Amino acid sequence: MLWIAAELLIVVAAVCGREPPQPDWESLLRDPAADVRWNADGTLWLLPRGVGGTVVEVDPRTGARVERGPAAVGLAERPLVNEELRSVRGVRASRIRFSNESGGAVELLWVDTGGVRHPYGKLGAAEVREQHTFDGHAWEVHAASGGTLGYVRGEVLPIVVHIGAAPASAPTPTSVEPNTHRGAEQSPPSEPALPTKAAAFAGPKFWSPGFGHVVVFESVAAQKHPVHLIESSPSNQVEPRMRTLQYLKPGDQIEQRWPRFFARDGGEVPVQRELFANPWSIDECQWSADGATFFFTYNQRGHQIFRLLAIDAATGAVRTVVEETSPTFIDYPNKTWMHWIGANELLWMSERDGFNHIYAIDVAHGTVKRQLTRGAWMVRAVESVDDAARTLVLRVMGIDPAQDPYYEHFVRVSMDGGDPVRLTEGDGTHALEWSPDRAFYVDTWSRVDLPPVHELRRGADGSLVAELGRADASALVAAGWTWPERFASVGRDGATRVYGVIWRPCGSATDPTPRAVLEQIYAGPQDFFVPKAFGIWNGERNLTKAGFVVVQVDGMGTNWRGKAFHDVCWKNLKDAGLPDHVAWLHAAGATRPWMDLSRVGIYGGSAGGQSAMRALLDFPDVYSVAVADCGCHDNRMDKIWWNELWMGWPVDESYARSSNVVDAAKLQGKLMLIVGELDENVDPSSTLQVSAALVRAGKDHELVVVPGAGHGSAETPYGSAKRLGFFQRYLQSDSAQK
């Protein structure tokens, strides 16, 4: 029972914040152009990092500089808003200056993507705090006496929030990915009444130009699939409370819609449905300018067919304009995009040659006119389209074979063909801030092991006007901060390179002492996850504080390395790239004796929770301790869209093959399961069912249920302290090292 007392002390110390004092790492980076602001007159302001410093104005034509005054003049003011906000994923580090003018103490809470609140301390009356954040990250401000004062989101540029002013009624604006386009309902004010038969159908309506025809939608409703959550300890009553949410799971009946055509006089134009019989979705609805043709995209359930279809309004004949097919899956959330550039030509995104590229399509004939981009690299997103100049600016990955293939670069391409014009060069990942007239832009690039570099470049050809400044991390290093290390090695096939990052504890850069290794894993196929841009305090460093070496790897099955790399996940989510992670760990440890590969733990949440437990099931010779947070341990129990996309539809035996519940009896090593009782993202029963299977198999494990917590409960103060204590007990204690 001694270990229980020891762990309790760890939990109490962590929750109460009793940690050894450490430097304010964020304040130690010196960056003369941490943020930039283009003004309406075309001039550029450079805003230094942190409180104080001088704003510098730059003439982009010449690079000439003029000092303008204190950095505070560059902060844009934003009000708190009444509408609840959650974080959206941001990649640009930023900051919010909270100025407490409320007359009393307030509390700051970071709201993660799942809606979980993470306390970040109190702010006294008249106190000001420079809070590090990321663009898109949401913050909630509470009065110390109780009650929410409002919400705010971080932006790419720093902002200031005056707490005490009346909250605004709408949320702060957020950016939208430019490759996400959905058709809008066409409802001009003068549209006629629907024909009687058409009015019987619910949903959107699309009148043709001139109102000769209207498209409405026949639909079937999704089935009811209630998931019940028990809130054991409500704040306002003694008795538990039940919450019920509609939560479709793989194989359930979804809502489906099919277009019906009516003439204005009420006569229906029959339309055959063979080409769109089983829709997951129908989107991008629009009429041709002459009202003769209705276009829409059709994503077939199972996500192996994606089409742009055209229906002749006079005859109801349906034809395929563009079709994408795959024996595995079409990555429709990330790699579908279209843009019309005339009545008979459109731009189309496709992975048909194995890499994500842009094509020009002849609409009348349904053929490819030309391929705008090609090669063993990926178009990540279309950043902008200039129809007048017939050019696009693209965010791309892997275009420079000498660099990490995950670094984001920018190119300009012509709609009429030709080689891409490179807008970025530096060996790192890039982000651009354009001038209002797009004649110039600031290119900020960095790596995990290189602080940001800021360059002023010309929009026409990407040529360099001037370097605006480089961040200096020398004060960080002098205080004991340790550089992250990039490392790449071949994966399971002995040929494909996989990329990762290693974090050593602060102050241990020259310490040869062997240390236990923790791997943070998330291998969801929707993206890649190893950080690429410079960060002073990545989340992984929270565990390096306790003396662990922490690593993160992107193995096969994750996104943005080409179709073959991605397809490893198909009907195989249990794989999680783990064979590549194991090869990477062995290669890294072979030349780093301070990585003790006899003591390796792994942790992750959601899909990462599934993968963390899977590591003990399939690779117990490498991983001996795992903490799985809110895991989707059986993909049949998780949300419908994510799992049907990667595991397929109909539900088949592959779901059981990837199930931790089915394989629970294989468990070796030490496992902690953590779950929040109010998780609305992954059904909490997924964790309880895998625990039940372990009990039936007689497999010892620990189950931590966090009352009142939602998704990501291991990131609450209590959950993270439990996780740390578990790793310390089994990887760092004297008995663990014998």
Residue 582: phi and psi, rounded to 5, are: -65, -45
Do 434 and 525 lie in a common domain? no
373 within a domain of the structure (yes/no): yes
- Predicted pLDDT at 130: 87
Do 454 and 494 lie in a common domain? no
What distance in Å separates the CA atoms of residue 262 and residue 269, rounded to the nearest whole number? 6
Average pLDDT of span 650-672: 98
Residue 666: phi and psi, rounded to 5, are: -80, -5
Q: Which of 1-5, 262-266, 395-399 has the lowest mean pLDDT?
A: 1-5
Do 257 and 344 lie in a common domain? yes
Do 146 and 211 lie in a common domain? no
Q: Are 137 and 90 in contact (CB under 8 A)?
A: yes
Do 159 and 279 lie in a common domain? no
Do 98 and 235 lie in a common domain? no
423 within a domain of the structure (yes/no): yes
Nearest in space to 533 (alpha carbons), one of 617, 453, 646: 453
Q: Which of 58-72, 97-111, 602-616, 663-677 has the lowest mean pLDDT?
A: 58-72
What distance in Å separates the CA atoms of residue 484 and residue 505, rounded to the nearest whole number? 10
CATH number where 525 lies: 3.40.50.1820
Do 304 and 446 lie in a common domain? yes
Nearest in space to 249 (alpha carbons), one of 643, 608, 710: 643
Name the average pLDDT for the chain: 91
pLDDT in tens, 304-356: 999 999 999 999 999 999 999 999 999 999 999 999 999 999 999 999 999 99
Neighbour-count burial for 614-649, b at 16+ CB within 10 Å, e otherwise: bbbbbbeebbbbbbbbbbbbbbbbbbbebbbbbbbb
Please determine, for residue 421, whether its predicted confidence score (pLDDT) is greater than 80.
yes
The model's confidence at residue 23, banded by pLDDT at 50, 70 and 90, is confident
Three-state secondary structure call for residue 615: helix
183 within a domain of the structure (yes/no): no
Q: Which of 469, 497, 517 is the last residue of a domain?
A: 469
- Predicted pLDDT at 184: 43
Three-state secondary structure call for residue 656: helix
CATH number where 100 lies: 2.60.40.780
Q: Choose the most confident range, by mean pLDDT, from 90-99, 181-190, 704-713.
A: 704-713
- Predicted pLDDT at 39: 86
146 within a domain of the structure (yes/no): yes
First-residue to last-residue Cα distance in the chain: 20
Q: Which of 124, 139, 174 is the last residue of a domain?
A: 174
Residue 690: phi and psi, rounded to 5, are: -70, -35
- Predicted pLDDT at 601: 98
Q: Which of 445, 469, 493 is the last residue of a domain?
A: 469
Do 511 and 458 lie in a common domain? no
Number of domains in the chain: 3
Higher pLDDT, 703 or 78: 703
Q: How far is CA 483 from the centre of its chain?
A: 25
CATH number where 382 lies: 2.140.10.30
What distance in Å separates the CA atoms of residue 180 and residue 185, rounded to the nearest whole number? 16
190 within a domain of the structure (yes/no): no
pLDDT above 90 as % of the chain: 80
22 within a domain of the structure (yes/no): no
Nearest in space to 33 (alpha carbons), one of 47, 17, 52: 47
pLDDT in tens, 479-531: 999 999 999 999 999 999 999 999 999 999 999 999 999 999 999 999 999 99
Higher pLDDT, 351 or 184: 351
193 within a domain of the structure (yes/no): no
What distance in Å separates the CA atoms of residue 226 and residue 204, rounded to the nearest whole number? 27
Please determine, for residue 18, whether its predicted confidence score (pLDDT) is greater than 90.
no
574 within a domain of the structure (yes/no): yes
Do 515 and 465 lie in a common domain? no
Do 167 and 222 lie in a common domain? no
Q: Domain of residue 325: give its range.
A: 198-469
Do 247 and 156 lie in a common domain? no
Do 46 and 151 lie in a common domain? yes
The residues that bridge with 361 in the sheet, in sequence order, are 346, 368
